[in-house]
Copies of this chain bind each other. A is one copy, B any other.
């Protein structure tokens, strides 16, 4: 069945989410479980109520970008200095461990080497969004294990993106010269992104934020524009939306309006 227009559809969806959410609350489930259940029930596999996929897709992407933006906003240089090594070691360690053993198990099950490589890498994925949302709901993002988990997840995301980019290039052309080019291109992108962020954080952002902050509302719109914009840029540059939004938040974490932006975005 369809609805008169998107507005009515969204209203009906929100009503269903509220009902399922309160049932979940009575059963002592975290809200995110109810939200996923509501998504399954409303989606094409059960009721098929959702016809306006484009606006909902947009809202979902903006929500994810803003969540990662807020996570980035909470990281300051002090945390990176203390957590950076731990996050790098655990994140890369888990990716290497899981993908190598996944690769070997898939090989042992009789898969082709390239297929086994894909399965191995696929096994290393964790859902950053689900974990970050759960930690944020329990107000445990600032705890020691919360910080380690988020750092770990971000490192993992970046590693998986790099692995995916390498693999898709590998399956396309297999001679060694191409592989070299892929590595150079990847390194160039990472360096370009880092250089851009450095220039922004050092010279552009402080004055920009100072101008915006004369109006609290404009500051909020600027923050959303910055988060969504860097997410779009991140995807365009071959990283992920999530990594871009995270970087956008991180770049504002050292300004003195961090708390003001954070309070308005998380409510």
Contacts and interface: CB of A to CB of B under 8 A. Distances in A.
A225 B55 contact: no
A37 to B, nearest CB: 14
Contact of A21 (B11, B218, B236, B263): B218
Main secondary structure of the interface of A (DSSP, over half): helix
Copies of this chain assembled into the complex:
2
Interface string A119-133: 000000000000000
A17 interface: yes
Interface string A1-41: 00010111011101101100110010000010000000000
Nearest to A13: B225
A58 interface: yes
B228 A14 contact: yes
B225 A7 contact: no
Contacts of A229: 11-12, 14-15
Contacts of A61: 7
A172 interface: no
Contact of A7 (B4, B11, B211, B232): B232
A111 to B, nearest CB: 34
B221 A17 contact: yes
A212 B18 contact: yes
14 contacts: A4-B236, A7-B62, A7-B228, A7-B241, A14-B225, A17-B221, A18-B222, A21-B215, A21-B218, A21-B222, A22-B211, A22-B222, A25-B215, A220-B267
